[in-house]
Amino acid sequence: MLKIFRHLFPLFIVQFFTWLGLFALWIYSTPVITRYIFHTSDSESADFEKGTTWVGICFAFYATLGALLVFMIPVLSKKISIGKLHAYALLAGAIGLSMIYFIQNKYLLFFSFAFIGIAWSSIGNIPYELIGHIAPEEKMTTYFAVFNFSVVIPQVTAAFLLSYANRVLFKNETIDIMLLGGGSMLIASVCMFFVDLDKELTP
């Protein structure tokens, strides 16, 4: 088991910061968009309802785009290593998350979520493809079971860290969480650029 953790540790680091950024988006996008773009924090107001609807539209947009872009991964992986491809996708996600901080028009959010969609197409596929590549066939199930912790750990961390950061560091200016999420995904991207798949991830 320890050997498996050692093999997967570089990807664990990438996954941790990736999913911390995603949880920042999923948890705080509604209060951010309703407050800073639709200019209301009143959950009973019509503008708040419009804001939450718009969040749903943005989420549907990036999820759909991500699903479509998955078909580009095999094509692009012939021109660039799959590790570098994932790093560039995470960089796009970092840009998309950070852009939310600066956007004041609801339609411009589509540019932000387009970048997030690029990241999502990779996040949901490439890490698992990497595991399938490096794991011995007889230990494939164990590798995937261990790798699932790379999602659980940042989820638990986000539940405490993001709430603390929002309350103590950002004084409930929730829009700052988007920059934190973007910064987290940027760290994931940089780390992925330095992961040597042949050296560090081959059993």
pLDDT digit string, tens, across residues 96-142:
999 999 999 999 999 999 999 999 999 999 998 888 777 777 777 88
Rounded Cα distance between 112 and 32, Å, is 14
Per the CB < 8 A criterion, the answer to whether 116 and 25 are in contact is yes
> What domain range is 117 assigned to?
2-200
At 62 the pLDDT is: 97
At 5 the pLDDT is: 63
Domain with residue 146: its CATH number is 1.20.1250.20
The one-letter code for the residue type at 119 is A
Residue 139 structure tokens:
């230990």
Residue spans of the chain under pLDDT 50 = 200-203
The total number of structural domains in the chain stands at 1
Instruction: Answer yes or no: pTM beyond 0.75.
Output: yes
In 3D space, the residue among 62, 63, 82 whose CA is nearest the CA of residue 72 turns out to be: 82
At 128 the pLDDT is: 86
Exposure string of 109-141, with b = 16+ CB inside 10 Å and e = fewer, is bbebbbbbbbbbbbbebbbeebbeebbeeeeee
